[in-house]
Amino acid sequence: MKLGVFDSGIGGEAVADALRKTFPEAEVLVVNDRANIPYGGKTPAHILRLTDAAIQPLLARTCDVIILACNTATALAIDALRQKYPAQKFIGIEPMVKTAAALTKTKTIAVCATKATLSSARYARLVRDHATGLQIIEPDCGEWASLIENNRMNRTHIERTINAVCEQGSDVIILGCTHYHWIKRLITDLAAGRAAVIEPSEAIGRRVKALLADP
């Protein structure tokens, strides 16, 4: 089995590590587009062009599944890529709104994601379909991906954000960008039991199994 993973930057490596643990027999190929990060502030058309160009090595290697390990690329490019490459199986990553809605007791959740993801039609559908009646806090995380990519993130910067969403009643924090997976432990520590911190690494493995089992 050959799995391809794409992300704009280092976030894809976290997803690839999880896939290697789930599928030890698989060849996991990873590509990124670090020359053009961050994706979060770019237009939908630009994100589609960049994503299409970046996944060409994975298409050339005939991967069984290509995982867009980028919430922004999933939100703005995956539908067009599925139309352009109908023989290729794609899996995208989206903020875990449905899971958060099932977990929350306070009816308040926080979604940490890029501006492009939060303004996308796919995210709007997730909220409409699964979060009716919930208060959703969307803190400004616009600089996080670049800071993480360049190893410049600091605890104080994150602490202010996490304290703010917890003080507003969030008991579930969604990490809606794979870059943020690298600081999940820090965010969990800062939440200090006030909120569960969720991201889709394990769910991706289950989705790969289901997709490959589907004829």
> Chain-centre distance of CA 52, in angstroms?
18
Query: Catalytic: 70?
Result: yes
Measured CA to CA, the distance from residue 24 to residue 3 in angstroms comes to 11
The DSSP line for 50-70 is HHHHHTHHHHHTT-SEEEE--
| 3-state SS class at 198 | strand
Torsion angles phi and psi, residue 65, rounded to 5: -140, 140
* Residues contacting 14, CB < 8 A, separation 6+: 69, 178, 181, 182, 201
Host H or E run for residue 157: helix 155-167
- Which is the catalytic residue, given 70, 112, 141, 166? 70
Catalytic one among 63, 112, 141, 177?
Answer: 177
Strands (DSSP E) found in the chain: 2-7, 27-32, 65-68, 90-92, 108-112, 135-137, 172-175, 196-198
Instruction: State the DSSP string of 127-143.
Output: HHHH-TT-EEE----TT
Annotated catalytic, 112?
A: no
Residues acting as catalytic residues? 70, 177
